[in-house]
Amino acid sequence: MLATIGELIYSPVLNAEEVRLIPTNQRGIYAAVSSFKFTGGDFISKLGIIIGVIKTMGNEFAYGSNFNFRININNRFFVL
């Protein structure tokens, strides 16, 4: 709880000081690079979830299970 309150106080001050120190003609570039730490981390975490699912599906195919793909083409079902 103490860390949350500290972050609530610290975050606006950090952003204000960052904007004050950046040259006026380069604020857009600095803001984009600064926000990349959040969007980059979000991208990496989502990519990790996707890789984990693909890896799990690979294990299902390698060791055999009841997991299979069914494709419906012209009312005929094909199982892969």
Write the pLDDT tens digit of every residue in 69-78: 666 677 666 6
Q: Does the predicted TM-score (pTM) go above 0.85?
A: no
All structural domains of the chain with their residue ranges:
2-79
Locate all alpha helices (DSSP H) within 1-80, ordered by sequence.
Answer: 2-21, 27-63
Band the pLDDT of 5: cuts 50, 70, 90. very high
What does the alpha-carbon distance between residue 77 and residue 79 come to, in Å, rounded to a whole number? 7
Structure tokens of 4?
Answer: 């949350």
Each residue of 11-63: pLDDT tens digit? 888 878 888 888 888 888 888 887 887 888 889 989 988 888 877 776 555 55
| DSSP label at residue 3 | H
Question: Which pLDDT does position 18 carry in this prediction?
Answer: 81
More confident residue, 4 or 37: 4
